[in-house]
Structure 1
C-alpha cells in the first residue's frame, strides 16, 4: 500500500507492494526482489533514513542516479531516463533522485521496487511543453533539492560507489552530485550544434528561447558550477564525438562517446518479395528546416527519370514552405505529406520503405536513425552531428552539408545509386539491421555504463555485506 506523500518541497515516501499502474510503454517492468521496504523523506532523521542493507551479500555497486525527469509514460528524455532506471536497477543497488510531472504517475509507482527519492515539479513549469523541454525552468529548484539531499546522506554516513547524471542531455545544466567526493559520470550529453553558415538564411526567424543556445559556450567558460560539473567528473559521455570538440576549453578527466538513445528490441525482420511499384523513400521527423526535408525534396527534382516517391511523416513550422517547394518543382505526384500519424502507422511506413532519407544538418542525436537501422533500411544522411556517428559506410551514405545546393545534389547522387541497384539496397539494408542488433540496443548501453561504473569506482565497490 502506498504511503501518503509529504508536501511538495520534500521527497515523497512510498513502500513497495502495491499494484503498479498500467505502463503506457509496452515494456515489462521487473521489480528487483532483493530490495527491501523503502521509506524516504528529506525531513527524516539520519537514523530513520539509514542506508539500505541488501540480504544477498551486497556485491553490486551502489549507484546514485540523477535524472530530473524519469517517466515511462512520457517521451524523449524522460522516457530514456526511465529506461536507465529500469535496467540499472536490475544490476545495481540503485538510488534515484528525480521529480515527476503533474498529471503523470510518479516514478515510485511505476517502479515500486526501486529506491526513489522524488519531488513534484515546480508549479507552472509544465505549462509550455516546448519551452520547458528546451530551458528546464524547474531545474534550479531540482538542483537545490537534490544537492541538499546528497549532502545530508553523505553527512549521515551513507556512501555511493559512483554517481551518474543521464539527463538533461543539453550541456547547460550543472550536476548536483558534482564535487562531493563521489566518482561522477555526466552524460550522455550533447546539443549546441550550430547550423552550417550557408543554411542559416533559409531557417527564418528563430524563437527567442532557442537563441539562448548561443549562450552555452559562454556559460561553460564563465559559470563556475557548470565548469565544476565537467572538470570534476570522472568521465563525461558525449552523444557523439563532436561533443569533445565543443568542450575543448575544459580540462576533462576522461571523455567517451555513446548515443543517448537506443532500441528496446528489433521489429520483426521483413520477409517476402518486394511488391511491384516505385522505390519508396521515407523521411520521419519534425518538419523544420534543419531536418533537411527541403534538401530531400530538391533531390527528388533531380530524379524525375526514376520511378521513386517520397513519403513524409511529421509536422512542423516548415511544412508550408516544403509544400510550396513541392508545387514549385511540380513534384505533387511524387512527394506525399502524411502529417502526424499514430505509431502503428509509422511502423507500416518503415516496413514499406526502401530507403531512409534524413539529411538533417543540425542533428545532435537522432533516434529516427536507429529506427531506420532496425527496419533494415539503407540510409542517406549528412556527415555531421549524431547520425553520422551512429552508422557505418556499410549501411549509409554520409554526405557533406556545406550548402543547400550541394546537399541536395549529393543526396540525389546517393539516392540514384540505391534506386538503380537493388542488390546494393539489400546489402546495405542487411548491414543496417546487423548494426542495430549488435550496437544500438538498450542492453548495449547499460552494459557499457556498468563497465564504466566498475572501472571508475574500482576498489570502492562493496564486495561484502554492508
Structure 2
C-alpha cells in the first residue's frame, strides 16, 4: 500500500511529537511504501541522521514544505507556534493533493500534531484519511489549579481549558474522515468520548510506544540499597504538578526517601525555592536536562517513577519506566490512566489539592513500606509494555486499521 504520512513534527531522537512522527514513519515503512510530508525546518536533522544510519528508512521518500520567511519570522518573534501549525496545515493541503494525484496514494495518515484541538483541512482529501492517534481533550482540573496558585499558570491553563472546550464544539466541522471513508484514532478515553459525541467514529489507540525492549534496561530491577529512590522525568512547568510531588515528599513518613527531578523549565527556580520552604531540599536532587540517550542510566538508578501531571494525553516517561521495570505512580488522567493499572503502579484520583497531595504521599509510602511490590509491579509493567505499547504491537494494530480503511474505500 502507498501511504502519504503528514507529519509536521518528525525528527529522530527528539522525544515528544517529533519522536511520534518519526516512529510511525519508520514502523509503517517496514510494510508499506511511505511518503512523508514534513516541515522544511526538519530537513537538516533528518538528512544528517539518515546519512549516519544508511540502512534506516531507506525506502522512505521525504517531501518538505514550509510557509514563507515572513511567517517564520513572525512565528519566532511573537511565539505564534500554534497559529503557525494551523497555517502550515492549511498550506499543506495543496501539497497533499498534489502528492496524492502524482504518486497515486492509497491512504493518507496524519500523525502529528497528535491533538484534536487543531484543524487539519483534509475533509475533502482525494484519499481516505487515518487521523491520529490524537489526544488533547484533557482539561486541567480547576480544583488542582487553585492549589499553590500561580496567576500566570492559572491564566495559561484557563485559556487552554477554554480553547479545548471550543475545539470540542468545532471538531466536527474539520473532521478529515467525514468525506474520505477514513477513521479517527483517539489516544485517550476522554478524546474518544468527545469525537464520538460529535458523530466521528473513533477507535482507541495510545499515541506513544517504545521499542527498546531487548537492551539491558529489560533486566530485572532491584530495589535500591537503603532508601527508596523516586524519580520524576519531564518539563518543569506548572501543569506537570511537580509542586504536588514536593509537598507530598514533606510527609514525615517519607523522611528517608530520595527524589530526583530530571528536566528543566520555567518553574525550576520556583520549585527549588519550594523545596527549601518545605524542608525537603536535602532529599531532592534537581538534575536538570538529560539527553534522551542518557536517560537509561537514570532509570536504572531509581526504583519508582512519579508523574503527578494535571493532564497528559501520552506519558512516554511511564513507558520508559516500564522498560526498566520501574512501577509508576500517576495522576488518574488521560494517557496516564490508560497505561497504569493496579498491577503495575498506583493511580491517584483527581481531588482537591490538599487531598490529592495526601493520597500521592500515601502511594509513595506504600512502596517505601512494601519494597517487594516495587519489583512485582515493575515486572508486570514490563509485560504490559510488550503486550500493548511496543512499536511492533502498535504497528500490527495500525496495519489492521489501514486494511480496514482500504476495504471501506473500495466498498469491500
| TM-score under structure 1 length normalisation | 0.76
Alpha-carbon spacing, 1:96–1:207, altered in 2? closer, same or farther (3 Å)? farther
Deviations 1:291-335 (A, max 9, x none): 121111111122446521111111222223322222222112212
Q: Does 1:162 align with 2:68?
A: no
Deviations 1:131-157 (A, max 9, x none): 46x50505424533x33244446666x
1:223 Cα deviation from its structure 2 partner = 7.1
Alpha-carbon spacing, 1:191–1:418, altered in 2? closer, same or farther (3 Å)? same
Q: Does 1:439 align with 2:388?
A: yes
1:161 Cα deviation from its structure 2 partner = 3.0
Among 194, 206, 229, which residue is 1:246 paired with?
A: 194
1:107 Cα deviation from its structure 2 partner = 5.8
Rounded Cα–Cα distance in structure 1 between residues aligned with 2:77 and 2:379: 38
Aligned residues: 396
Larger radius of gyration: 1
Contact 1:263 1:442 (8 Å CA) reproduced:
yes
Deviations 1:168-225 (A, max 9, x none): 1122333344323522111111114211112223243149887366334324534775
Deviations 1:346-390 (A, max 9, x none): 322211111111111222221111111111111111111111111
Secondary structure of the 1:321 match is helix
Contact 2:131 2:177 (8 Å CA) reproduced:
yes
Provide the residue aligned with 1:205 in structure 2.
Answer: 152
Rounded Cα–Cα distance in structure 2 between residues aligned with 1:208 and 1:186: 31
Provide the residue aligned with 1:96 in structure 2.
Answer: 36
Rounded Cα–Cα distance in structure 2 between residues aligned with 1:347 and 1:447: 27
Provide the residue aligned with 1:255 in structure 2.
Answer: 202
The runs of 5 or more residues in structure 2 that have no matched partner are 51-56
Provide the residue aligned with 1:280 in structure 2.
Answer: 229
Provide the residue aligned with 2:27 in structure 1.
Answer: 87
Rounded Cα–Cα distance in structure 2 between residues aligned with 1:243 and 1:459: 24
Rounded Cα–Cα distance in structure 2 between residues aligned with 1:304 and 1:130: 47
Alpha-carbon spacing, 1:73–1:100, altered in 2? closer, same or farther (3 Å)? farther
Provide the residue aligned with 2:9 in structure 1.
Answer: 69
Rounded Cα–Cα distance in structure 2 between residues aligned with 1:224 and 1:238: 14
Contact 1:68 1:139 (8 Å CA) reproduced:
no
Alpha-carbon spacing, 1:451–1:103, altered in 2? closer, same or farther (3 Å)? closer
More helix by share: 2
Rounded Cα–Cα distance in structure 2 between residues aligned with 1:163 and 1:353: 42
Provide the residue aligned with 1:386 in structure 2.
Answer: 335
Rounded Cα–Cα distance in structure 2 between residues aligned with 1:415 and 1:122: 51
Provide the residue aligned with 2:93 in structure 1.
Answer: 147
